[in-house]
Amino acid sequence: MTARFEGRTVVVTGGGRGIGATTAARFAREGAAVVVSDLDREPAEAVSGEIRKSGWRALPIACDVTERAAVEQLFESAVREFDTVDILVTCAGIIKDNLIHKMSDSDWDSVINTHLRGTFLCAQVAQRLMVPNRFGKIVFLSSRSALGNRGQANYSTAKAGLQGLARTLALELGPFNVNVNTVAPGFVETRMTRAVAERTGMDYEALKKTSAEQTALRRTGRPEDIAGVITFLCSEDASFITGQTVYVTGSP
């Protein structure tokens, strides 16, 4: 594979698991130095360790994206190790599903905080590095749930909000050659969708089967499906795309 990201540094939040982990490895394989950031140190270290074993560059950082000081430190560490940050991918995310009449304040606040505040903080600190360099690529993880999904008032609100944030930052940062887009996956096989099965008491294989049957391409998504689109949006082939949301759902 050609090294599309040689000389670039990427920060991936939520990089210790699922879509973030696969995306971090994909960037590293294509030449980037990758900062693998996650809430807990262990998954970030595990993903970084695998990347380094293959001879690529990675730095694990524990960071709660809802904490400003932690986000500032994340980018300071990235700059200390790799000089700058060229690309930001925000995969950190949680779900706390409940129908509206059962949704607690904390279900609402934690989901809104992680996705919206966390992404705002990361983007704000990242753009400080990107604007002076007149180069940057930012991708937020939205979701098909942004269009509305029963039991996910908090999550769908946050994921729709991220699309607005991306469009706005695309306008503000476009003059400085910084592209900002969102990727909105459908059902992807990760710990997050396993948690949905556990919470609803469904067998995971049965949930996957149902989801596949409801999908035009008759299969569920894999983290690789999403990582491929994220890296495309951060590549030169996508340099005239900004403020867009790409739905990656296996359906129209």
Question: What character string, x for contact with ligand NAP (CB under 6 A) and - otherwise, covers 73-112?
Answer: ------------------xxxx------------------
Q: What is the largest CA-CA distance in the chain?
A: 51
Catalytic residue among 155, 186, 193, 246: 155
Among 27, 82, 187, 247, binds ligand NAP (CB under 6 A): 187
To ligand NAP, the closest distance from the beta carbon of 195 in angstroms equals 7
Number of residue whose CB is nearest ligand NAP: 18
DSSP state of 17: S
3-state secondary structure of 105: helix
Q: Is 204 a catalytic residue?
A: no
35's CB contacts (< 8 A; 6+ apart) are 9, 10, 11, 12, 15, 58, 59, 61, 74, 77, 78, 81, 82, 85
* Nearest residue (CB) to ligand NAP, 82 versus 155: 155
CA dist 213 to 8, 94, 115, 218, 251, Å? 40, 25, 29, 5, 11
Q: Does 46 bind ligand NAP (CB under 6 A)?
A: no
Q: Which two tokens stand for residue 151?
A: 């039991």
Q: Which residues are identified as catalytic?
A: 155
**Footprint of ligand NAP (CB under 6 A):** 13-14, 16-20, 38-40, 43, 63-66, 91-94, 114, 118, 141, 143, 185, 187-188, 190-193
